[in-house]
Structure 1
Amino acid sequence: MAHTLLPSHYRRFLLNERTMDKPISPNTYRAETVPFDSKPGPGQALVKVNYLSLDPGMVIWIRESRFTYTPPVPLGSVARASGLGTVIQAGEGSTFKPGDLVSGILGITEYAVLDDALLTKHELIPGAKPLDFLGPLGATCGLTAYFGIFEVAQVKPGETLVVSGAAGAVGSLACQFGKKAGCKVVGIAGTDAKCDYLKNELGIDVALNYKSPTFHDDFDRDVGFWDAYFDNVGGDITDFLTTRMNRFARVALCENSSSYSGILKNIMEFVVRSGRIQGFIVFDYVDKFDAAIKQISGWLEDGSLKSKYHIVDGLERLPEAFSLLFSGGNTGKL
């Protein structure tokens, strides 16, 4: 590995402008190709980025607002994104070595130099593949679904759990975690093909296409009322579902990919039905990460947890990949 051939140039995306009224615009990021002159210092590692995770939460990172859990990405700097990569060089005193598989906030770039403290080394476990460290075992995907279901929604056996955005990265895992908790799981998605995937591959109880003209009637017929709701989308779907809550229903508010206004209709339904809505971020539960990863790893090892990936190959196709993320064009982890 000491003689790894390094490129003369590499590509990266910089934050070009902030968007407030929509997820991502064509001018949000700016691509550039720069000379390769990266070298790790003491306690650092040079990482070749193999995969980047595209997540709705990336929108929060580019907005300048006091209503955020992390400082926004500075304009003109490398855009922020979680990723999976391979260590190419290790600086003096680094705990890593060339060839190590690592994850972290690598950025939208082909190569990155990062402090050891910002990287996590991974060893493959039985039943897992490298991408699973961005999927079921990743903070913005599997752990988000896990804590949303078990800590925020606090599902119980026999309850009815509804998941919107159910065929996406987080939603598909939330559905499976709900089944493992003994719930009747209802998945809401935007195509018949996605509903077939949820029913036939993931084994949930009810899958409904919200674009169907009979969606409301189908929900009333097949579901009726619900106890827990993992909300991935907000908007009209959530407004409808708030009129179908059982008493003491709970909502885990994850991402809001269809409505960025922050307006929730039917708020009085939570009062008259003694309901609860709670927003959360996965880093609220850092002290429980190890236990969750152990549990999820066990499900991967026994083959009972399924994951699906939608890979867009090539950094230059970033705008195309983002359009899939916010239009619902992907099935599984993007």
Structure 2
Amino acid sequence: MDLDVFLSFKDKIVSNVKKIIVGKDDIIELVTIAFICGGHILLEDIPGVGKTMLVKAFAKSIGREYKRIQFTPDLLPSDLTGINYYNQKSRDFEFRQGPLFSNLILADEINRATPRTQASLLEAMEESQISVDGVTRKLSEPFMVLATQNPIESFGTFPLPEAQLDRFFMRISMGYPERNEEISILRRQESAALLDDLPCILEETDLAYVLRNYRSVRASDDVVNYLMDIVEATRKNEKIQLGVSPRGSIALFKAAQARAAIHGRDYLIPEDIKEMARYVLNHRLIMKGGPRSKMIYEAVDLLLGTVKTPVENF
């Protein structure tokens, strides 16, 4: 396992995307980890903090096709997947691909679409394929959905059901920039102009190597048991109505492996599990006596504080 490839992979992406997104190196790293693991991200934040620019800059950095879909109440599943239409010239039906046939999908304001349209994403997100009129078609690889939603606004929205939330690998929030960071944004060139000049900085061989080999990161029995202690704590906590599913524990393990690799290690340490748990688990819990909006990162942090961290030399 060549760890230099992983280190270079992360450094190139972060240094390139930060030309557009100022002061959010940790967020760029999280997107990189999810991409390596083949996972999808729910960006839950207020408008205007750079979610769309983040996705565009990331897509250009890795040299992959990008499509933006504005979710609205009148959006139909066929608007995403594509349709079969009758071609009068050939006198036959032909399939016209929808925007899901791309590598990176920005599902903007996903909770504004109806549940039927939201559900049309499930097969694509879980199996990287879509079915139209009984015919199944594979989507482009790699395939990643980055969906956005405003956690404050609720009028005219359809909350994502638990089954669809569980399809997302991480839920993250960008937050406001620091004062000095926002000043630098004000003084620099327009982001759109900077984005036009942003180059692709990855070699195809490096990309293929990273996607294929991150699962080679080793984990001791103590670290695996630590992960399971956290997962079981979510299922036994009296304040939690619904704990983490096995899909969630697998996602946490994969995210920790990818984090270790891009930090130059071929083995897991407890900090990999603890750091990734905040983003991989926060949307998979349902708290008792409160709406889903109260499932905040602090709840996961409090939970992590109750689980004993192994101190063996890993």
- Structure with bigger RCO (C-alpha 8 Å, 6+ apart): 2
Q: Same fold (TM over 0.5)?
A: no
Higher share in helix? 2
What TM-score does the superposition give when structure 2 sets the normalisation length?
0.28
